[in-house]
Amino acid sequence: MKNNFADRLQERIDEMGNPTCLGLDPMLSYLPESLLQKYDCRQEEGIYLALSSFCSELIMAVADIVPAIKPQMAYFEQYGLGGLRALQSIIALAKAQGMLVILDGKRNDIGSTAAAYSRAYLSTSGPNDHELNTSQASVAEQGSKKSNNAEHENCKPNNPEQYAQDQTSHKTDNSGQYSQEQAKAFLAADALTVNGYLGSDGIKPFLELCQANGKGIFVLCRTSNPSAGDLQDLELTDGRLVYKAMADLIASWGQDLIGSSGISSVGAVVGATWPAQAAALRRRMPRTFFLIPGFGAQGGTAADAVAGFDRNGRAGIVNASRSLMLAWKKHGPDHDAFAGACRREAIAMRDSLRAALADHRKTKGF
């Protein structure tokens, strides 16, 4: 595996000719009636099965044409353990299909708390290994190193492909509960969205694990929501707007994580609903990967979305959630066809982005 997230993501986009990301923001009200009738969503198990079945079918429908998924954690967290189990299973499935996983949690804090967040979402061998490695030395001094190593070995994640197969079969341990290995596996994302407005000490722990583990982060910069300007458009004493100052920080944070593609694994979240600002931000952050929400249901067009791509039509990935997840509602009452509807919509999105990128390159002289 190449040890640079930006390189892996850009390579996957190039292979598919498609800078699309499937956003997964499930709610029970979004599910087809056929799934709601099949599972008892008043119970944890029913919620898990309904959400995981819905998202898994969407993933399988587009895995050969869409390079990445972006699960929004809040939509799973709202359903408690059943939702988190569903999140766990779909991340494992997506990774087994070769898709990259951008976990949308917008996490941040300072000091040890930020470090804990980074270990939770950007580790490769499990967040517990940090403490296990620290404690092993003292255990060894007491003559217990051998048993401790055995325990440490048991904490390593399963093979992702086999794990995804297990999740498809809804396997648990003998107690009927998810094992420690399974509980950790859903945290193994390729990248995480973070909030940089706490400053550098809230970002440094994430940068360290990005460097060590080949992971990435996308830092909020110019977000797609209507009230983003309440804070992000305020002018600083040096004349810069807040979001431009954030862009300068993001560019500096990413200097040591630029891969062979010339793109950094420290990316920026830049909404498709602000195309003029996106183009200006690209000039400030020429080597930064843009995660671009706001396409489709939020009003962003293909032309809007590609405004933030670089002059070669690279270094950007466009997320669509509701427009893909709920595509089945555009095609009548055939609830069993929701995965096929998602695929058709994803192909249409891909084709519109390809056309917009062709125009984008022409305007940039390519």
State pLDDT tens for residues 107-152.
Answer: 999 889 999 999 999 987 654 555 555 545 444 455 444 444 443 3
Which pLDDT value is given to residue 95? 95
Which pLDDT value is given to residue 185? 46
Residues whose CB is less than 8 angstroms from the CB of residue 174 and which lie 6 or more positions away in sequence, other chains included: none
Which pLDDT value is given to residue 178? 46
Residues in the chain predicted with pLDDT less than 50, given as ranges, are 1, 127, 135, 137-140, 143-165, 167-178, 182-183, 185
**CATH class given for the domain over 5-123+184-363:** alpha beta
Which pLDDT value is given to residue 149? 42
Pairing of strands 20-24, 68-71: parallel
Which pLDDT value is given to residue 187? 67
Which pLDDT value is given to residue 128? 54
The H or E element containing residue 153 is helix 145-154
Which pLDDT value is given to residue 124? 78
C-alpha span between 348 and 302 (Å, rounded): 11
Examine the residue annotation and report whether 146 is marked as an active-site residue of this protein. no
What pTM did the predictor assign? 0.85
Task: Render 166-212 in DSSP notation, one character per residue.
Answer: HHHTT---TTSS--HHHHHHTT--SEEEE--TT-GGGTHHHHHHHHH
Q: Which of 106, 145, 204, 329 is catalytic?
A: 106
